Amino acid sequence: MEKITRFGVSIEPDLLKKFDKAIKKKGYTNRSEAIRDIIRKNLILEKNKDTNLEAIGTLTMIYDHNAGNLTNKLLNLQHNHTREILSTTHIHIDHHNCLEVLVLKGKIGNIQKLADNIKSLKGIKHGELVITESQV
């Protein structure tokens, strides 16, 4: 186990009360683990600004497969990015709507550009890209 460094934090009582309520709702057993997670998340977000770094992530999208030529456009984009796309999962939500998750790996800039290209297609109702570092 790594050595742990203890440090103090000054915080207003009302903010601490809100923080405690939020972390309890998320299931944290103590403030330390919640603060460590916040720090990790922010370090990854900061690191993700470097578009040349390698990373891994997911693009989750919901779309209407009947919209125009969307299905063919998605397939063409995916076939043109076999280096970045490791895996896809496709779920039929109902007669018109699909949920699809792409697992992506590569340079952050390439992953972001691919996600932007997909999310901007007509018929995509929602798209969310989550990138994390490939070596956590």
Residue 136 scores a pLDDT above 70:
no
Mean residue pLDDT of the chain comes to 92
Q: What is the pLDDT of residue 68?
A: 83
Q: What is the pLDDT of residue 135?
A: 63
β 54-64/124-133 pair status: antiparallel
The closest alpha carbon to 61, from 52, 71, 46, 47, belongs to 71
Q: Determine the Cα–Cα distance for residues 33 and 55; give it in Å rounded to an integer.
A: 24
Q: What is the pLDDT of residue 46?
A: 86
H or E stretch at 109: helix 108-119
Q: Which residue has the higher pLDDT, 40 or 1?
A: 40
Stated pTM of the model:
0.80
Q: In this prediction, what percent of the chain has a pLDDT beyond 90?
A: 78
